[in-house]
Amino acid sequence: MLQAAASHLSKTGRVLLDDVIAREINDKTRIICENSEWIAFVPYAARYPFEIHIAPKRGVASISELDENQSQLFPALAKEVLTRLDGVFGIEMAYIASWYQAPVNTGRDSMRLHWQIVSVRRQPGKLKYLSGSESAMGAFIMDLEPEQSAKQLQEVKY
């Protein structure tokens, strides 16, 4: 991530996550929800059956840098995202929720805080196993397109 972010910054002068968010806003189809400070979307190249990235629109390097307004608008959005995730199949989804942020001593100009929530649940009773292609090669093969899982998340009544 750091390499990608640093390389993007040096090539374009822009922060990678800013450009990722701009693209998602432009494409629209993969956005799950947003408010004035936060956006949640299924990324263009999702690696898991259900994968949601949540980022502050005004980028910060690390979580302790979130200001009052960002902090105040986070809970409602987080609740909506996780409720939608559980609502897809009407079961508590197993997930891994990870905060990615800039390292303590480097990359603070290029890397931006965001939250990634991924689930290997592809259907009730069915898991996506990370086996040969994913574990050994790092090449993720998915059963559904990001736009399809985004649609399922969007269609949950909230």
Partner 1 sequence: MTTPGDNYKLPAVIGFDTPNADAAGACEVVCYTQDHGSTFAQLSPQQIRTVLEAWKDRDAQLSKLSYIEYVFPFENRGEEVGVTLSHPHGQIYAYSFIPPRVEKMLQAAASHLSKTGRVLLDDVIAREIKDKKRIICENSEWIAFVPYAARYPFEIHIAPKRGVASISELDENQSQLFPAYVTSCCLTPFKNWPSLTR
Residue 133 in the binding site for partner 1 (CB under 8 A):
yes
Task: From 81-89, 96-104, 109-117, 131-139, give the range in contact with partner 1 by CB under 8 A.
Answer: 131-139
For the chain, how are helix, strand and coil distributed in percent, rounded to 5? 40, 20, 40
Q: Which two tokens stand for residue 120?
A: 């290997």
Give the start-end residues of each E strand in 42-119: 50-56, 96-100, 114-119
Out of 63, 91, 96, 139, the residue judged to bind partner 1 by CB under 8 A: 139
Our finding on whether 29 is near partner 1 (CB under 8 A) is no
Q: How far is the CB of 137 from partner 1 (least distance, A)?
A: 4
Q: Which of 76, 91, 96, 127 binds partner 1 (CB under 8 A)?
A: 127
Amino acid of residue 120: V
User: Which residues make Cβ contacts (< 8 Å) with residue 10, sequence separation at least 6?
Assistant: none
Interface with partner 1 (CB under 8 A): 8, 11-12, 19, 23, 127-129, 131-133, 136-139
